[in-house]
Amino acid sequence: MALANLARSNDIRGAATASSDDGIVLRVAIQVTNLSGERFWAYDTPLPPQVQISVNINIVGLDQKTESTVEAPFVFTVSYTPSIAQLSVKGKAQVSGDRSEVVQMAEEHKKNRPPPQTVIQAVSNIAMAEVIIMSKSLGIPPPLPPIGLPTEAAVTQAIPKKEPRYTT
């Protein structure tokens, strides 16, 4: 399934629609119910030069609401090492679509299989936007990969070396 569109409204909701080649469409609406962010590192102490950031998405369950709708509570957490801060977003993903697709999703969940990528992507997109804003407010690094110039070693590896040729 390919993510077709992701929208975010002012009431902290997001929606994604995904369709596959066989015409099955899933709609995922994200509702954020709790935002939490705490800075443990003192403001007057400079942040360490090396910080590891761990992001975890946990889909807590899957409740079938109607034949064509399921609700999946989630917790999205960001933790830092050394322990400079902790960020958390809790909410619900409401998934609606074709009855057979929703029933199959519920059956897969009973077998402890992960939810469809559409659900994970929708939760991740909305929650990541929230934690980026929280990280700015707390004065801590956002949970994004650093953007910079490639290291010298990476540049030399990217350029294929030409083998010397000898002709007679």
21: tokens are 């080649």
Give the helix ranges, DSSP H, for 53-151: 99-110, 117-138
Token digits of residue 99:
């009855």
Alpha-carbon distance 137 to 60, whole Å?
28
All residues at 6 or more sequence positions from 40 whose CB lies less than 8 Å from its CB, including other chains:
83, 84, 85, 86
Is residue 68 classed as helix, strand or coil in its secondary structure?
coil
> What kind of architecture, by CATH, is found in domain 2-145?
Roll (3.10)
Domain limits, the chain: 2-145
> What is the structure's pLDDT at 24?
54
Write down the pLDDT at residue 147.
74
List the pLDDT tens digit at each of the 168 positions of the chain: 333 333 343 344 455 555 444 455 789 999 999 999 999 999 999 999 999 999 999 999 898 898 899 999 999 999 999 999 999 999 999 999 988 888 888 888 889 998 889 999 999 999 999 999 999 999 999 998 777 766 655 555 555 656 666 666
What pTM value is reported for the model?
Answer: 0.74
Question: Which one, of 145, 151, 138, lies nearest residue 52 by Cα?
Answer: 145
- pLDDT in the model for residue 165: 64
